[in-house]
Amino acid sequence: MSKLEDIVSLCKRRGFIFPGSDVYGGMAGTWDFGPLGVMLKKKIMDEWWKFFVESRDDMYGVDAAILMNPKTWIASGHLATFADPLVECKECKSRFRADKIADGISESVTTEEFLATHTKCPVCGKENWGPIRKFNMMFKTSVGAIDDESATAYLRPETAQGIFTNYKNIVDTIYPNIPFGIAQQGKAFRNEISPRDFILRDRECNQMEIEYFVHPNHWDKAFEEMRSLQHNFLENIIGLPTDKIHEYEVPIEDRAHYSKRTIDLMFDYPNGEEELMGLAYRTDFDLQNIARESGKSMEYRDKITNETFVPHVIEPSIGVERLFLAVLSNAYTEEEIDGDKRIVLKLPENLAPYRFCVSPLLKNKPELVTKAKEVYDKLRTKYTNVTWDDSGNIGKRYRKQDEIGTPKCVVIDFDTLEDDTVTIRDRDTTEQIRAAIADL
């Protein structure tokens, strides 16, 4: 099995992530987070919110509706241009994203350029392709009891537009000084032609995005600040190693229609280097489009200079699932200790679903169980994320806690009853020390 398959299997076995609609045979590109996955995902999202919003006085949060007035997607350009190059094999009828199956071509590839690569169909091995068609990735739905064109709406393909459409509300209610940012976390939907690599490319994902509004003359300074903040967050808060993160300056032909500069931060995933997040200079593209489509001014008046202008925007955008997979694949370790093989998730303490696991050495000794429950209650009151485990033998419990990344296991034994000390076993070193309950 590949490392990615091992991770998928661990995720299912230990309740992190299940295939979406598993009971009915699944649904491609969708995944359900189980109890452990929800805890890890929430911690990742909370760390992002604390770092980028709560700890700053220039950031404001929004939680906009997923369904938006369809004018949003006309103004933003998504209706016209949010499309991938779709190619169909005429032999077996399989469909692919052309730029993902041929080397050295971009998203804007033409039929001629693609045919010149002499790519074989990954399913049937033949080389008999139809023309490249642009396939719009937005999911269409209808709103209300009418089922005609007038009821058409789209599931948002990026959370960003819920921010742009609230820019004026925030300027008119909070009166922020420029530069300021608006942040949002939430679902985004994309009808990906080929979802793949577990949760790396989904049809439904969560994004964490900031639109940082600046004076047009100051965009490059803000871009550099955001760039270094992203590294700081990924490396120092989330604990990803510096040498697994790489910057990619996206060339003009591959940049999104709204961007004048984009740097993608790439991560070394188990199946190779892939985009983890993007940092884009969106200029005033979105606010100008909204002004035109809505007829409302998007100008900002500087409180000190009285100058009026439409702000420019720096946008860091990261997918929660991609960050989740980066964290998981970085933590996933198979090793041998004293001849015993084990799988361990070496998660940073701030992200591990549980900080402690508490167990009685033997579950059929009521005096041990009672004492262990006391310790469990004490730790749970203090730290909240504490789990109880009295199943199987102690070796099996350690193996399970290693696999879910619990940093410390606390075991109550007969000595505890005498001297109020416990054994604390460390996840990464497997070393055991004796400590007083009072010091936990």
Pairing of strands 180-189, 59-61: parallel
Q: Which is nearer to ligand GAP, 171 or 318 (CB)?
A: 318
Task: Give all strands (DSSP E) within 221-374, no chain letters.
Answer: 245-249, 261-269, 272-283, 300-301, 308-309, 312-319, 332-337, 340-345, 356-360
Q: Which is nearer to ligand GAP, 156 or 425 (CB)?
A: 156
Q: Which of 117-125, 310-318, 349-357, 406-414 is the region at the interface with ligand GAP (rule: CB under 6 A)?
A: 310-318
Three-state secondary structure call for residue 69: coil
Does 268 contact ligand GAP by CB under 6 A? no
Does 425 contact ligand GAP by CB under 6 A? no
- At 43, which helix (H) or strand (E)? helix 35-49
Q: Which is nearer to ligand GAP, 319 or 353 (CB)?
A: 319
Cα dihedral 221, 183, 280, 326, rounded to 10, equals 110
Q: How far apart are CA 368 and CA 395, in angstroms?
A: 18
Q: What number of chain residues touch ligand GAP (CB under 6 A)? A: 19
Q: Of the candidates 176, 278, 353, 405, which one interacts with ligand GAP according to CB under 6 A?
A: 278
Does 360 contact ligand GAP by CB under 6 A? no
Compute the least distance from the CB of residue 103 to ligand GAP, in Å.
21
Q: How far, in Å, are 81, 91, 258, 292 from residue 110 at the CA level?
A: 15, 20, 21, 32
- Token digits for 56? 């700053």
Does 214 contact ligand GAP by CB under 6 A? no
Q: What single DSSP character describes residue 151?
A: G
Does 41 contact ligand GAP by CB under 6 A? no
Does 317 contact ligand GAP by CB under 6 A? yes
Q: Which of 172-180, 199-207, 382-390, 420-428 is the region at the interface with ligand GAP (rule: CB under 6 A)?
A: 199-207
Q: Which of 44-52, 59-67, 84-92, 270-278 is the region at the interface with ligand GAP (rule: CB under 6 A)?
A: 270-278
| CB contact at 8 A, 225 and 192 | no
Does 97 contact ligand GAP by CB under 6 A? no
Q: Which of 20-28, 202-210, 360-368, 403-411 is the region at the interface with ligand GAP (rule: CB under 6 A)?
A: 202-210
Q: Of the candidates 105, 287, 318, 325, which one interacts with ligand GAP according to CB under 6 A?
A: 318
Nearest to 440 by CA among 412, 405, 418: 412
Q: Of the candidates 84, 99, 192, 286, which one interacts with ligand GAP according to CB under 6 A?
A: 192
Site for ligand GAP in 153-172 (CB under 6 A): 158, 160
Does 76 contact ligand GAP by CB under 6 A? no
Does 277 contact ligand GAP by CB under 6 A? yes
| CB contact at 8 A, 188 and 205 | yes
- At 294, which helix (H) or strand (E)? helix 285-294
Q: Residue 338: left (phi > 0), alpha (psi -120 to 50), or beta?
A: left
Does 136 contact ligand GAP by CB under 6 A? no
Q: How far, in Å, are 289, 313, 379 from residue 76 at the CA level?
A: 7, 14, 50
Does 286 contact ligand GAP by CB under 6 A? no
Q: Which residues bind ligand GAP (CB under 6 A)?
A: 158, 160, 190, 192, 201-202, 205, 207, 209, 275-278, 315, 317-319, 321-322
